[in-house]
Amino acid sequence: MTRTVMVTGSSQGVGLGIAKVFLKHGWQVFGVDQKPASATVAELGGYEHVTADLRDGKGCEQVMAACADRFGGLDALVNNAGLGNARGFLETTDDDYERYYSINVRPVLRLCRLALPALKQRRGAIVNIASAFGIAGVAGSAAYVPTKFAVVGITRMLATEFGKDGIRVNAVAPGLIWSPGTDDRIKNNKWWHRMMIEGCPLGRVGQPEEIGEACAFLASDAASFINGVVLPVDGGWSIAKFLPQPAEG
């Protein structure tokens, strides 16, 4: 039987990469985004798309109902939709915190709760997209960092509570992943380049499909005894303590 995965934030960036990889591995993909489906997946067999605002509780309910109506069930949920970037602590307002929480945390909780009945039927899996910034505290992202630590906590909580039902809950923690905005920031912000590229042992930006492969693995039977794990996919950035020594000469 062909398996079905719901991927939120599937129209661009990491979410699009995740959707492409699941399709490559033969899954049916139910994509969810505020934006229309990307042309690169919209015409592919096995892909369905719904436009929705996941900040709205009713929107989450409608998304889950639409997925059940189209595919009859759910084998995996990938909570990818989120808001990145942020400002320093003293520049961050209460409204900033509420905005980031409403996008990065609340929909994760809602969709997990709504998906659990379907996932229990198929002993499915949840993969939450956390962040390397949710493993290592990082300056200058005051509203973003706490929400990704929250995603890690949600992942571990659900893994312990629903493991008895055969549901595995894990997270992927991306490092710096390519996007047009990322490319521009690396080229024009020397501090960012030094921290994120020179400070990464592999010394490069990751690709969205590399996050997709990690998600597909964690959702697959190959990861059948993996539960409650937060998997960094960041080129070693989150464990690096020192910048590499400059070459001699």
Here the tokens at position 133 are 């910034």
CA 60 to chain centre: 17
**Residue 123: left (phi > 0), alpha (psi -120 to 50), or beta?**
left
DSSP 8-state assignment for residue 208: H
Tell me, yes or no, if 144 is annotated catalytic. Answer: yes
Is 43 in a helix, a strand, or coil? coil
In sequence order, what DSSP letters do the residues of 102-164 get, joined into one string? HHHTHHHHHHHHHHHHHHHHHT-EEEEE--GGGTS--TT-TTHHHHHHHHHHHHHHHHHHHGG
- Rounded to the nearest angstrom, the gap between the alpha carbon of residue 26 and the centroid of all alpha carbons in its chain is 20
Strands (E), the chain: 4-8, 28-33, 47-51, 76-79, 125-129, 168-174, 230-233
82 contacts 129 by C-beta, under 8 angstroms:
yes
Active site (catalytic) residues: 144
